[in-house]
Structure 1
């Protein structure tokens, strides 16, 4: 199995807004890095106290067709450890340690498709949507895209110029609707004043007859409040839940994925209220990259925290149970998860766990990662 860690070189920086920069990377050998539109890259940088390495996940704003380049777009967050470190220090030629792209919030281009794709985002939630938008326009000549993008004002629009160019290049196939909560100038066509909430989204979508609600595909990314409002609007329009995808890890991250199920059995995974056995220290066995690790997990620790305390370098990113970078399969024993947003019902049933929010409830827990 190949290592999930890569070293990438910064080859270009693009200033998108006064507080957002796109960082373009390549491998030193210029080989393509496998990814899908919508996935994210985890950056590992020594920006913590005393140079401690910290991890943050950033959605790719590039598409696979831009290989060998990968790009992430980083917006400065007030008090944000990683975003401020990056924007203040990153330079062309610098080498950064990253985890290979992963994530379930993806769109797979289908050249023969003729579909309507609606992307709803706010602020830096545009980054994975931008990757999807470019991929559909480039690789699905019969498909059309509607982007509804909320920002404070015109100056805070990430990718403003790139979106204008794409609208011209793909006239009739791409429509961008901007929503400004505090516009600086008069709004023009395809611009709206107010918050990107349920009422605003309904007003915009009801005017787009070429995007029939029940047939279009919807991808939502942004603050949790915006996504709840968007989901409420789509429910009122009768959009089936199966046609709505949302990115949940982005907000949590700012405060390989398709590995086949193993043929052997699995343990018991619970996301209900922590039950019996949670107050005892348990020994956990981890199989990772051909090695076996055994270590004790205290009652107040997650499995990942206990491993890191033992200097066992397991993969992880968000540490909130959302991004799935730390996913493994529980082969025996019983594990409780504090949060299961990142796992599908099928994955839960197959015994998959997230070590960053997992607690062993029995003494025979064995987890296989990778």
Structure 2
């Protein structure tokens, strides 16, 4: 299932589609490590997320009255589709990371587009069934999405997860990574740190990433599909190590946090997503008077479709404004109705409409 196709109607859920409603609500904020927080989002309506582990979203933040666009990798797993999360490290002087850490709270909303990106083991499967995930700092996020997916689905992927951090307290998701490795034997994890934390000595691998540390963790790394994410110097170091070792670089994949370092296709996707976020699509409130249900409906969507996606069951048949099955009384509001003969003009004059072909132009109240 791709990221925009709906889930089976029998479930009552549909896939989140930013082209129809690009607003997400923050459900929770969690402390993950020193100056690192996860922000968990859900759609406004009853939707589920569909994406490949390792992909990213483009967000629009309004900071100081100006829209600012940033890409953040999804750290959650598509195996838990009701919410999606990003994990953000505070960057000194970073306008977005500091704003998120200091001001963004549960209940607040922002706009997002995506998912995007080719950095996923779903798109680059290993011929040997063996993977090596190498991350530095906040580059752990796409690796967590892949590892969480493998853990949730009990996948038998021979996965080694090597994460580099400055100190023990800077290791993001340390407890969860250890738990996954302990309970799923196909996942093995190791960390390498540069220095001890105050009051916390480190007894594992020390120093910076090197061929020796990679070989110590994954002696067979030359046979694995390797995914790398982290700061640019970190990824350059890993790239040089692999080339010197004679690794087949066709099986090396990396993801950059720097827009200029993204692949041309990914740059085009981000630019298109940012443009779509800036183009304003109004969303109106549709109230169903008898059932006391309220749904959000973008001006580009019919009232019937918005109600269905919110889990409501309403009478309908043709969905083209032809049969009249969905005829309803409009108690208030304005709609644009394009029907094919399923309603008479005198009925329209009396306040009736066909919700299968009516798009809101204001908040609307329906007698249902």
- Alignment TM-score, normalising by the size of structure 1: 0.62
Q: Which residue of 1 aligns with 2:101?
A: 87
Q: How does 1:114-153 map to 2 (within 5 A)?
A: 115-139=129-153, 141-153=155-167
**Partners of 1:223 and 1:54 in 2: how far apart?**
21
Task: Report the counterpart of residue 171 of structure 2 in structure 1.
Answer: 157
Q: Provide the rounded CA distance (Å) in 1 between the counterparts of 2:278 and 2:97.
A: 26
Contact 2:162 2:217 in 1 (8 A): no
Alignment partner for residue 178 of structure 1, among 185, 191, 195?
191
Q: CA deviation at 1:141?
A: 2.9
Higher Rg of the two aligned structures: 2
1:67 to 78, 81, 88: 81
Checking the alignment, whether the CA contact within 8 Å between 2:18 and 2:112 is kept in structure 1 is no
| In structure 1, distance between residues paired with 2:39 and 2:56 | 13
> For 1:115 and 1:139, how far apart are their aligned partners in 2?
16
- Find the partner of 2:242 among 231, 234, 257: 234
CA–CA separation in structure 1 for the residues paired with 2:123 and 2:156: 12
Tell me if 1:205 matches 2:214. Answer: yes
Superposed CA deviations along residues 168-218 of structure 1, whole A, max 9, x for unmatched, are: 211x32222211112224332xx211122xxx2x11332346x62332110
CA RMSD across the alignment: 3.2
Q: Report what 1:36 is aligned to.
A: 52
Q: Give 1:278's aligned residue.
A: none
Specify every segment of 5 or more residues in structure 1 that has no aligned partner in the other structure, as ranges: 260-302, 315-370
Change (3 A) 1:247 1:312: closer
Q: Which residue of 1 aligns with 2:339?
A: none
- 1:26–1:122 Cα change, 3 Å: same
- 1:151-300 to 2 correspondence within 5 Å? 151-170=165-184, 172-184=185-197, 185-188=200-203, 191-196=204-209, 200=210, 202-208=211-217, 212-248=220-256, 250-252=257-259
In structure 2, the partner of 1:292 is: none
Distance 2:145 2:72 in 1: 12
Structure 2: state its 5+ residue gaps. 5-16, 281-368
Matches of 2:123 and 2:279, distance apart in 1: 34
Count of residues in correspondence between the two structures: 254
Specify the alignment match of 1:321 in structure 2.
none
Structure 1: distance between partners of 2:96 and 2:176: 25
Where do 1:314-333 residues align within 5 Å?
A: none
The C-alpha deviation readout for 1:311-369, integer Å capped at 9, x for no partner, is: 9849xxxxxxxxxxxxxxxxxxxxxxxxxxxxxxxxxxxxxxxxxxxxxxxxxxxxxxx
CA distance in 2 between counterparts of 1:113 and 1:137 reads 20
Relative to 1, partners in 2 of residues 1:130 and 1:192: Cα closer, same or farther, differing over 3 Å?
same
